[in-house]
Amino acid sequence: MNIVSTMVGISIMGAAAPSMMTMSIAPFEAQKRAQNLGIAESAAVIYAAENEGKTTLTAVPDSPRCDLDSSKAPAYEITCSAGDGAYEQTVSRSFSQVVQGTPPATPPVTPDRTFPYPINPYGTSGIECHGYENWGTAGVFRAWDVQQQAWTKASCTPPELRTQTAFDDSDPAEWQWDINGRERGNHSSY
């Protein structure tokens, strides 16, 4: 009886050993995939940020592997992959560039209102402005050229234009330039 129970115990352990082995490498596999995802995502995000709103493209990174889809220019998609085989992770990010040429016609200015800046004839880029960017007049996505006192490209999107509710709740007296009658329609207290 003792020999039989010992044999049964060995055969149960022998059957359980392969699944215990699989479980023990699963965290390693997940960690490797997460690491490769981070590498691919970082490369894609950095490339998209460096080229958003620009007039020329920078070189596509070689490491990790990245491909640029320019079939819908001036809208682009960068796809980066890191790792091999089962550990390969791929990430894509979209961005757009400034359309070169003459700026669009300046919309009419309402004579009874004045603003710190003239209307941006290029509009907004879709990138949300942070508070320190002051509607695209400062910061990373600056579209206002201080020396020329003119807009050079589309501005980041002010918080007041992010949603219809934000626009409706905003105070036109605090706008940096006239956004009435444009992307969100006419403001009720304009």
pTM of the model: 0.46
Q: Residue 151: which H helix or E strand, with range?
A: strand 150-151
Q: Please indicate, yes or no, if residue 11 is contained in any of the structural domains.
A: no
Q: Please indicate, yes or no, if residue 8 is contained in any of the structural domains.
A: no
Specify whether 87 is located in the same domain as 107.
Answer: no
pLDDT of 27-60, one tens digit each? 888 999 999 999 999 999 999 988 887 888 899 9
Question: pLDDT at position 53, please?
Answer: 79
Specify whether 126 is located in the same domain as 167.
Answer: yes
Q: How far apart are alpha carbons 56 and 49 in whole angstroms?
A: 13
Specify whether 82 is located in the same domain as 145.
Answer: no
Question: pLDDT at position 77, please?
Answer: 93
Question: pLDDT at position 8, please?
Answer: 47
Specify whether 112 is located in the same domain as 89.
Answer: no
Q: How far is CA 109 from CA 22, 112, 113, in A?
A: 69, 9, 8
Domain of 77 in residue numbering reads as: 28-96
Please identify which residue in the block is written with the tokens 């992010």.
162
Specify whether 71 is located in the same domain as 125.
Answer: no
User: In this structure, are strands 155-157 and 124-128 parallel, antiparallel, or unpaired?
Assistant: parallel
Q: Residue 70: which H helix or E strand, with range?
A: strand 65-72
| Three-class DSSP category at 140 | coil
Number of domain units in the chain:
2
Q: Please indicate, yes or no, if residue 156 is contained in any of the structural domains.
A: yes
* Ranges of the chain whose pLDDT falls below 50: 1, 4-11, 102, 104-105
Q: How far apart are alpha carbons 34 and 37 in whole angstroms?
A: 5
Identify the domain boundary among 66, 96, 126. 96
Identify the domain boundary among 96, 111, 134. 96
Torsion over CA: 146, 149, 154, 157 (sign): positive
Q: Please indicate, yes or no, if residue 20 is contained in any of the structural domains.
A: no
